[in-house]
Each structure stands twice: as structure tokens, then as C-alpha cells.
Amino acid sequence: GGGGAEEEELTAQETALYDRQIRVWGVDAQKRLSKAHVLVCGVNGTTIEFCKNIVLAGVGSLSLMDDHIVTEDDLNSNFLIPHDESVYGGKSRAEVCCESLKDFNPMVRVAVAKGDPSLIDGTFIDRFDIIVLSRASLKTKLFINDNCRKRSKHIAFYSVDCKDSCGEIFVDLQNHSYLQKKPGGEPEQQELKYPSLQYYNLNRIDCIYIWFVSIQEAISVPWKDLSKKTTKLYYAMRVLESYESSEGRDPGETSLSDLPAVLALRKDMCDRMSLDESRIPTSLLERLLAAGKKEHPPVCAILGGILGQEVIKSISCKGDPIKNFFYYDAADGKGAMEDIPPTPED
């Protein structure tokens, strides 16, 4: 996050409301949260879970960008949209969701940002500390990520996508420094049993510096250079991304009828980058294609929770961030982190 926390204390209202979470991340982190400005491009089941979490946490402001007019399909995994056409009819997804989100925490400024993510310019994104992108084309992801990195202001970039019951989160914090509690027992347990041992014993805290790469750089890594344990979801998402790109489709605008073409593309990409095709199972590609834009509500909650905590960590500069991809698949219940390109072992 930006400059250090200022001298003003939290108000009595904030202390009362945020009591339980201040006990997790501290007063300083809470102050930083209250000054953070977040932009979310793409309203869907997963991003609104994320929005719920950070609004409750008390960020300074949240702007939602999604001009698509609400359709019935949008109601399926989005609990912020009331099932009443007289309420949502003719309005954009962003408009309707903003109204609901405001109720969750009157201290957070929630607003609609009208526009097309693929057209936003540098001065616009300077208003924000965090940008989250979802269901965007590869071109838009590259464009916005590149813009974030070009600004002199430090802007953290995240993309999140949920297809069927799988999820991908990408994190780019550029240069990031944060505090990390040194390992050695369970600090929280000790605090509970011996609370007189104040946890700001500076000997137990390290300041860590890490560097993140851009999306461009990450996805350009030839597949043969990746670890053999890299999750199949990484590859599957890249194939679909590439397919949607070359066919000029909107993200998620796919179906099972695309399977033959997608399998051909898989062969092509695997040949080019020396990866065995069996690493990207046909059944997985089928699932993702058939899903289109459909998301499973429990998976939205899981991904929204993880992403929410990641953003809170980066704003507060406390805690290890995901570096740099996270994958979840409800089929096996596994959550996996991938570091791409792999950080060389020293």
C-alpha cells in the first residue's frame, strides 16, 4: 500500500464495528484498509463474494465496472441481485450490485465506474491502489496489467476467474515489501495463553521483499520450462484463453461444440512448447468449455474468500502473498499455488 498509516486514530464507530478483525490484523492494518481504493472490473459470482468481503473489512472505496445489463443468467450465482425484474430491469450489473453492497458497510464508499475495461487509461487507474479483473479477454488483462506497471503509483493487479467448479487467481504486486512473523511455535496460541507477551516483539518479525512478474512474462514462459508438478488447470486455462482470443469470443462464450477445435489447439500448443498432451486432460477441457460462464456458488465463496484475504494482506503489507497463481478444483478439493516463472533456488 501507499504511505504509512497516519496519526489519526480509528473512530469509536470503527473500533466497535471492526473489533473482531482488528484482533486478527491489528489497528495499523485497519487504518491502511480505510485508505485503500479498489476497482473491480467484471461483476460475477466470484467477484461479488470478493466485494462483500472487502466492503465488510472496511476499505476506503470500492468501484465496480460492468456495463452489461442484468439478465436472468446473472442471478444464478450472484446473491446481490434481487430476484425482481422491477428492481434490476434495465440496469447494469455494476449499478444493481453497488446498491446492495452499500448496505454492508456504510463507511465504505461504493460507486459505479462506467466504462469498458479495455479502454480505460492511465490517469483513470491512478485513482486506485488495487485493481481486480474478472472474465476479461487476454488482451484486456495484458492491457490493464501493463498500464498498472507503467504508473509511477504502485498499483496491485489481480485477475480471478471461475469456470464450473474451478478457479484461477493471478497476482502481480510488482515490488512488494511486507512484514512476516518469524516461524517458531504458534504465535497466536502463545498470545492467548500468555497475553502479557506483547506480540510486537520486533525480534520475531521480518521485513520481506519480493518481486512479481507481469502476466505477459508469466504466460510467456515455455511450458517445457515449468515444473513437472504444475497443475493441469494452468495449462487448460491458457489453452482456453488462447482459443477465445483467436476466435474473437467473449470470455466464457464457449460450449462443448468447440471441443474439437480446442483439442486441435491443445495439440498445437503442446507441440510448440514441448509438453505431453496428456498433461491437459480432455475431460478437464470439456468441463471448462461446457461451463461457459457458469459458476458454482460454493466455489465462488472459496475463491472470493481467498482473493479477499490476499488483497487485505497486500494493502496492510502483512503476511505472505500468493506468488503468483492460485488454483482450486472442487473435483479433487485441492488448492495449489504455482510460481511462474519458478523462482530459482539460491
284 to 323, contacts with another protein by CB under 8 A?
Answer: 286-287, 290-291, 294-302, 304-306, 308-310, 312-313, 319-320, 322
Q: In this chain, which of 67, 335, 339, 341 binds another protein, going by CB under 8 A?
A: 335
Contact 95, 65 (CB under 8 A): no
Interaction with another protein in 241-260: which residues (CB under 8 A)?
256
Please state whether beta strands 61-65 and 37-41 pair in parallel, antiparallel, or not at all (unpaired): parallel
String marking each residue 264-283 x if it binds another protein according to CB under 8 A = -------------------x
Site for another protein contains 185 (CB under 8 A)? no
Contact 323, 310 (CB under 8 A): no
Q: In this chain, which of 66, 164, 172, 244 binds another protein, going by CB under 8 A?
A: 164
Report, in Å, the least distance between residue 335 CB and another protein.
3
Site for another protein contains 137 (CB under 8 A)? no
- Residue-wise over 258-284: b if at least 16 C-beta within 10 A, else e? beeebbebbeebbeeeebeeebbeeeb
Q: In this chain, which of 39, 47, 49, 59 binds another protein, going by CB under 8 A?
A: 49
Interaction with another protein in 200-239: which residues (CB under 8 A)?
none
Site for another protein contains 99 (CB under 8 A)? no
Binding piece for another protein, criterion CB under 8 A, among 74-82, 145-153, 219-227, 232-240 = 74-82
Binding piece for another protein, criterion CB under 8 A, among 50-58, 225-233, 241-249, 261-269 = 50-58
List C-alpha distances in Å: 103 to 132, 265, 293.
21, 46, 27
Report, in Å, the least distance between residue 309 CB and another protein.
4
The residues with which 181 forms a beta bridge, in sequence order, are 205
Residue 123: exposed, middle, or buried by beta-carbon count in 10 A (0-12, 13-18, 19+)? exposed
Q: Where are the beta strands (DSSP E) in 36-174?
A: 37-41, 61-65, 109-112, 130-134, 156-163, 166-172
Name which of 156 and 312 has its Cβ closer to another protein. 312
| Other CB atoms within 10 A of residue 228 CB | 5
Contact 120, 63 (CB under 8 A): no
